[in-house]
Amino acid sequence: MKKRWLPALLLCLLLSGCSAAASGGYLISAAEGSEAYSEALLPFLPGYALRDGEDTLYAEVARGNAVACFDVQAVPAMTRGVGRYWYPHVTATVVLAVDRTRTDAVITGWNSLMESGVPAGMSSFSVIRNMLAMGALSYGLDWKTPTKQDALNYLEQLHQNGGFELDGSDAPVLICLDCEAAAWNRNGGNYEIIVPEEGTLSYRIGLLSDVPLTLEPGLDEALLSAGLPLAGGERPPGFPADYRVARTLEGKDYDRFLALAGDSSRDLRRQVFHTRLYTTADMREHILSALLIAAVILLWKGTVSHRMIRHDVRRVVVMMSWLMVGWLLLRLLKYQLPSEGTLCRMCWYGYYLFQLALPVALLYLTEILDRAEGKKRLMSPLWPPLVVYILSVGLVMTNDLHQLVFRFVPGGSWASDYRYGPGFWAIMACSLLFLAFALWNLLRKGSRSSSRRGRILPLLFCVGLLAYLAAYIQRVPLAWESDVTVNICILSVLFFETVLHGGLIPVNIQYQRLFASAPISLTLLDEDGRTVLSSPGARPISRSVWQRLRTDIQQPLLRDRDTQLHAIPVRSGMAVWQEDLSQINRLRREIQDVQTRLEAANTLLREEGEVKKRLLTAETNRALFEQLDRDMERRITSLVRLIETLPETEQSKGLTAYITLCLCHIKRRCNLFFLARQGEPLPGDELSMYLDELAELARYAGLQTLIRCGQKEGLEIRSASLCYDFAFETIAWALKEKASPLMGYLETEDARLVFRFLPGGDPGRWQFSEDLTAAVTALGGQIVCKDLDDAFGICMTIPLGGEACG
Amino acid sequence: MTSLLSSHLEDCSTPQYFCFSVRCEVCGEYWYSSSIPFSKAAQAAQCREKKELYDAIYQREKLRAREAAGQEARERFSQCPVCRRLVCDACFLICDEMDLCRECAGRMQEFGEPVAP
């Protein structure tokens, strides 16, 4: 229990524990039928004042009052410790009082009454009088083994034969006390007092008190003069002469009597008159049923609150539950009030405080069904019902001032004699209107539900409600005789359950099934770290883990190396789910293994590559030099021959210059060879420099040579090599033929490279090497000799860009 | 035992609190010490000097928290006399002759009750 309720509880206990101080000094006429006795006795009991009972007989005795009651009340009470002094004074016998002005039937006892078919009744329907009559009848029908069932069967048959009513004071035959019938006769009645021949019981009336009583002398005479028979057997005139069949209870008979006559009112209603079959029949059932239903409603509130997700709907449930419980408890309080005073009437009015609120609560519930929970503001359409409710309650509670709701005679018996005023019908109409709106909302929202249950259940509820109303109008006992308060509570609960099971409100049910079938390891912990729900695969959460999660719930943590825990806060606890990291860890290990293997393989491959590279370099160099050797072999051979002839020749200067020219050619060709392998183009300036170098050396050999290079852009090595070879062979030829001067020009014309020479002599015996001619032809070019009238020209043409362009 | 525990303490602290864990070498489950909040966690260092001061305080408190965690772990962990491993109370069995970890007890066919089931 929450601590904030403790002061209220203590206050309630304190207030309920308070009671009026034992005052004493009153003579209480507690039992019906003892009023005449009390009035006759009062003068002989000095210091006591006569007063009506305000509480139970036992409570009055405990307060020190003297209580006038029957022996069947006093003796069992004394055996149970209530009251210490019992003073019996008067005898009252259960008899049949036959009104001779209305029937001449011969009635001598219980059986003749049955046979006569004359309607009979009880002179009073109070609980104690029912007990006295039932006891007398039971003992009368079978003195040795009296049973209640015999008495009930007799009365049921009597009811079916000639009519028997509890409240039958106007019946021709009355089951009553002899002193009562004698008093009627003294007042002008014509009742024949018949002591049933089968037998009956005589009860004693006396005073029960906790303190010894001192009675003035002369009481017996006063009682006789008041028309009351004495306990000793002496009777005043007007009583039957023969009371031999009337027995008096003694000793242990009282317990038997209580077993026989207990719950008489309930049994009479149900087994004799067949009423109250579907509702409470006596005070004990009223109290117990109210407590039971209140407990059930509170239990229902607990279960619904537990199932509910939305807080606003939960508040409606709580409000509805307390309205119903409050109504029942107020009704219970009203049952406890002994008299029909103002407080009792206020309790009656107070019923409507709860009853009228229920339709408003249901209407509110149906209004918020399809709204988000965040919209806490009371919707404007709900203000009118609330205002009407407040006005209605105000109208009911002030009924004493205007009598618009209930009309009764002020000071009269309002509890049983009242009529409904226009105000009552007005507030009932409003209340029914709210209920109708709530039902309409329920049906409308249920029809939009996606589930079949959501569509059918509201319809079923409405059909059930209509069936109940129809049964009530047709006075079907189940509806007509049942408790309206309980029925309204049940209908309200059913309304809510309809909404709940129709899926119109999200609920927290089926949690166990959810957890049982959850594929993830999920655990629900309460605020103390205890496991509330857990899926099958989830391992328990240890205390240290729970503490750590509570400290920092956002931070996941490891349970072990393969399990990671995540948590989120929930109401009154936390939800923890376990993430299985074993697969991830296995994959990570596999990736690490693969990575290690790849790194090792990569190292091997790298080393292999380096070895291969070294081998390839060596092989390439070897092939390169072999190719270079092949390329230069002819030129070197020719050069060696020239060098060998150098000492024998006379013109050593010219030969030396020619040898130098050849050496230069070999050197540049080697350069071009390597450049070709590198794949780089030869800049035009560098080619120009190569050609100038050849021309310079040719001049040393005696050949006036001028070569101009008009090509500025880079040239492909093959083209450059051809140009260089063409220039070398032309110079070599010119030296040999002494065709000085020699002029050369290299230029670009229409995507062609044109290299022209104008020699100083006749090029009739001109002939280039086969290698050069083949190379030029292979490149798509040609070498031609042209007669220019007064001169000759040698021209080499090759496509610019080399073989690809040609 | 203390030095063994100290060597097994894993730091799970954050800038807001200090927390240490110890892993049972038999079941593999982590035990977490009670979290101790850092006294200056709610205060932000406005300047470099203050930050350095807070860092120093953090380290000092962390050291104390580590010692406290070690003491706390002593209540929940034991060292198996056979395999010399650090095991939690759930894996440490009280046997008739000698208290052993669950695995050693199984190998030696000893039966016992765990310290904390």
Q: pLDDT grade, residue A136 (50/70/90)?
A: very high
Residue in the structure block whose two tokens are 């080399």: A802
A550: closest CA of chain B, how far (Å):
10
Q: Are residues B86 and B55 in the same domain?
A: no
Q: pLDDT grade, residue A567 (50/70/90)?
A: very high
Query: What is the number of other CB atoms lying within 10 angstroms of the CB of residue A671?
Result: 16
Picking from A110, A169, A151, the residue whose alpha carbon sits closest to that of residue A263 is A151
pLDDT recorded at residue A600: 95
pLDDT recorded at residue A768: 80
Give residue-wise pLDDT tens across range A510-528: 777 888 888 888 898 888 8
Question: Between chains, do A559 and B29 touch, taking CB under 8 Å as contact?
Answer: yes
How would you label A648-663 residue by residue, b for 16+ Cβ within 10 Å and e otherwise? Answer: eeeeeebbbbbbebbe
Q: Is the pLDDT of residue A248 over 60?
A: yes
Residue B52 sits at the chain A interface (C-beta within 8 Å): no
List the end-to-end C-alpha distance of chain B, in Å, as a whole number: 22
Most confident of A225-239, A601-615, A756-770: A601-615
How buried is residue A110: exposed, middle or buried, by Cβ count under 10 Å (0-12/13-18/19+)? buried
Q: Is the pLDDT of residue A805 over 50?
A: no
Mean pLDDT of chain A: 85
Q: In A, which residues are within 8 Å of B74 by CB distance?
A: none
Domains identified in chain B, total number: 2
Residue B23 sits at the chain A interface (C-beta within 8 Å): yes
Give residue-wise pLDDT tens across range A316-346: 889 999 999 999 999 888 887 766 778 888 9
In angstroms, the CA A354 to CA A389 distance is 10
In angstroms, the CA A398 to CA A406 distance is 10
Q: What is the mean pLDDT of residues A166-183?
A: 86
In angstroms, the CA A690 to CA A574 distance is 90
Sort strands A200-209 and A66-70 into parallel, antiparallel or unpaired.
Answer: antiparallel
Picking from B106, B96, B111, B112, the residue whose alpha carbon sits closest to that of residue B26 is B106
Question: Between chains, do B28 and A545 touch, taking CB under 8 Å as contact?
Answer: no
Lowest mean pLDDT of A118-127, A246-255, A457-466, A794-803, name the range: A794-803
Residue to mutate among B9, B12, B29, B77, with most A CBs inside 10 A, is: B29
Residue, of A111 and A277, whose pLDDT is higher: A111
Question: Between chains, do B14 and A555 touch, taking CB under 8 Å as contact?
Answer: yes
Q: In A, which residues are within 8 Å of B23 by CB distance?
A: 560-561
**CA-based radius of gyration for chain B:** 18
Instruction: Give the pair of three-digit tokens for residue A622.
Output: 């070897």
Q: Are residues B57 and B20 in the same domain?
A: yes
Residue A427 has φ and ψ, to the nearest 5°, of -70, -30
Q: pLDDT grade, residue A380 (50/70/90)?
A: low
Which of the 8 DSSP states describes residue A270?
Answer: I
Q: Are residues B26 and B82 in the same domain?
A: no
**CA-based radius of gyration for chain A:** 65
pLDDT recorded at residue A8: 63
Closest in A542, A547, A560 to B28, CB measured: A560
Q: Are residues B94 and B59 in the same domain?
A: no
**Nearest Cα residue in chain A from B20:** A548
A548: closest CA of chain B, how far (Å):
6
Q: Is the pLDDT of residue A803 over 70?
A: no
Q: In B, which residues are within 8 Å of A559 by CB distance?
A: 29-30
Q: Are residues B66 and B91 in the same domain?
A: no
CA distances from A262 to A174, A257, A259 (A): 21, 8, 6
pLDDT recorded at residue A85: 92
Q: Are residues B115 and B98 in the same domain?
A: yes
In angstroms, the CA A253 to CA A130 distance is 18
Torsion sign, CA atoms A51, A56, A57, A59: negative
Torsion sign, CA atoms A35, A37, A40, A44: negative
Q: What is the mean pLDDT of residues A283-303?
A: 89
Question: Between chains, do B34 and A547 touch, taking CB under 8 Å as contact?
Answer: yes
Question: Between chains, do B35 and A551 touch, taking CB under 8 Å as contact?
Answer: yes
List the end-to-end C-alpha distance of chain A, in Å, as a whole number: 106
3-state DSSP assignment of residue A795? strand
B96: closest CA of chain A, how far (Å):
27
Q: Is the pLDDT of residue A312 over 90?
A: no
Q: In B, which residues are within 8 Å of A558 by CB distance?
A: 21, 30
Give residue-wise pLDDT tens across range A45-78: 888 888 877 777 888 888 888 999 999 999 999 9
Give residue-wise pLDDT tens across range A423-436: 999 999 999 999 99
Question: Between chains, do A542 and B31 touch, taking CB under 8 Å as contact?
Answer: yes
Give the domain range for residue B87. 78-117
How would you label A466-489 residue by residue, b for 16+ Cβ within 10 Å and e otherwise? Answer: eebeeeeeeeeeebeebbebbebb
A231, A97 in Cβ contact below 8 A?
no
pLDDT recorded at residue A195: 93
Residue to mutate among A541, A542, A559, with most B CBs inside 10 A, is: A542
Q: pLDDT grade, residue A9 (50/70/90)?
A: low
B21: closest CA of chain A, how far (Å):
10
**Nearest Cα residue in chain B from A556:** B12
Q: Which amino acid, one-letter code, is at A647? A: P
Whole-model pTM: value is: 0.56
Residue B16 sits at the chain A interface (C-beta within 8 Å): yes
A427, A392 in Cβ contact below 8 A?
yes
Residue to mutate among B32, B33, B34, B77, with most A CBs inside 10 A, is: B32
Q: What is the mean pLDDT of residues A279-286?
A: 82
Which of the 8 DSSP states describes residue A542?
Answer: P
Lowest mean pLDDT of A344-348, A602-606, B4-8, name the range: B4-8
Residue B34 sits at the chain A interface (C-beta within 8 Å): yes
Q: Is the pLDDT of residue A416 over 80?
A: no
**Nearest Cα residue in chain A from B37:** A551
Q: Are residues B71 and B85 in the same domain?
A: no
A565: closest CA of chain B, how far (Å):
11
pLDDT recorded at residue A652: 76
Query: What is the number of other CB atoms lying within 10 angstroms of the CB of residue A192?
Result: 16
Q: Is the pLDDT of residue A200 over 60?
A: yes
CA distances from A183 to A228, A362, A645 (A): 9, 58, 188
How buried is residue A643: exposed, middle or buried, by Cβ count under 10 Å (0-12/13-18/19+)? middle
Instruction: Give the pair of three-digit tokens for residue A729.
Output: 């062979």
* Mutual angle of helices A422-447 and A452-473, in 10-degree steps: 150
3-state DSSP assignment of residue A36? helix
A-B interface: how many C-beta pairs under 8 angstroms? 41
Q: What is the mean pLDDT of residues A721-750?
A: 87
B95: closest CA of chain A, how far (Å):
24
pLDDT recorded at residue A202: 93
Residue, of A368 and A168, whose pLDDT is higher: A368
Q: Are residues B69 and B89 in the same domain?
A: no
Q: What is the mean pLDDT of residues A700-707?
A: 86
In angstroms, the CA A772 to CA A89 distance is 168
Question: Between chains, do B16 and A552 touch, taking CB under 8 Å as contact?
Answer: yes
Q: Is the pLDDT of residue A11 over 70?
A: no
A575: closest CA of chain B, how far (Å):
19
Question: Between chains, do B35 and A548 touch, taking CB under 8 Å as contact?
Answer: yes
Question: Between chains, do B35 and A547 touch, taking CB under 8 Å as contact?
Answer: yes
Task: Name every residue whose Cβ is closer than 8 Å to that of residue A224 and which is 6 or more positions away in sequence.
Answer: A230, A234, A235, A236
User: In the beta sheet, which residues pair with residue B101?
Assistant: B92
Picking from A29, A52, A26, A32, the residue whose alpha carbon sits closest to that of residue A179 is A32
Torsion sign, CA atoms A279, A285, A286, A290: negative
In angstroms, the CA A35 to CA A630 distance is 158
In angstroms, the CA A646 to CA A650 distance is 8
Q: Is the pLDDT of residue A607 over 90?
A: yes
The kind and range of the H/E element at A88 are strand A85-99
Residue to mutate among B30, B87, B89, with most A CBs inside 10 A, is: B30
Sort strands B86-88 and B20-23 into parallel, antiparallel or unpaired.
Answer: unpaired
Alpha helix segments (H runs only) across A524-581: 543-551
Instruction: Give the pair of three-digit tokens for residue A76.
Output: 């069992």
Q: Is the pLDDT of residue A170 over 50?
A: yes
Tallying the residues shown for chain A, one arrives at: 806
Residue A532 has φ and ψ, to the nearest 5°, of -95, -50
Instruction: Give the pair of three-digit tokens for residue A624.
Output: 């390169």
Task: List, as one string, the DSSP characters of A653-692.
Answer: HHHHHHHHHHHHHHHHHHHHHHHHHHTPPBPHHHHHHHHH
Closest in B27, B29, B32 to A548, CB measured: B32
Torsion sign, CA atoms B92, B98, B104, B109: negative
A interface with B, Cβ–Cβ below 8 Å = 542, 544-545, 547-548, 551-552, 555, 557-562
Question: Between chains, do B30 and A552 touch, taking CB under 8 Å as contact?
Answer: no
Q: Are residues B54 and B6 in the same domain?
A: yes
Torsion angle, alpha carbons of A387, A391, A396, A401, to 10: 170
Q: pLDDT grade, residue A18 (50/70/90)?
A: very low
Task: Name every residue whose Cβ is closer than 8 Å to that of residue A178 and which is 6 or more positions away in sequence.
Answer: A92, A93, A94, A95, A193, A195, A229, A239, A240
Calculate what percentage of chain A has a pLDDT beyond 90: 24
In angstroms, the CA A452 to CA A796 distance is 100
Q: Are residues B22 and B3 in the same domain?
A: yes
Give the 3-state secondary structure of A366-413. HHHCCCCCCCCCCCHHHHHHHHHHHHHHHHHHCHHHHCCCEECCCCCC
Question: Between chains, do B23 and A560 touch, taking CB under 8 Å as contact?
Answer: yes
Instruction: Give the pair of three-digit tokens for residue A726.
Output: 């063409």
Interface of B with A in 67-106 (CB under 8 A): 76
3-state DSSP assignment of residue A787? strand
Give residue-wise pLDDT tens across range B50-91: 889 999 999 999 999 999 999 999 988 999 999 999 999 999
Percent helix, percent strand, percent coil in chain B, to nearest 5: 35, 25, 40
Q: Are residues B12 and B39 in the same domain?
A: yes
Instruction: Give the pair of three-digit tokens for residue A174.
Output: 């009355």
pLDDT recorded at residue B81: 92
In angstroms, the CA A318 to CA A311 distance is 10
In angstroms, the CA A366 to CA A380 distance is 14
pLDDT recorded at residue B69: 92
How buried is residue A392: exposed, middle or buried, by Cβ count under 10 Å (0-12/13-18/19+)? buried
Q: What is the mean pLDDT of residues A634-648?
A: 82
Q: Are residues B60 and B108 in the same domain?
A: no
Q: What is the mean pLDDT of residues A280-289?
A: 84
Question: Between chains, do B29 and A557 touch, taking CB under 8 Å as contact?
Answer: no
pLDDT recorded at residue A4: 57
Q: pLDDT grade, residue B40 (50/70/90)?
A: confident
- Is omega for the bond preceding A741 within 30 degrees of 0, making it cis? yes
A530: closest CA of chain B, how far (Å):
16
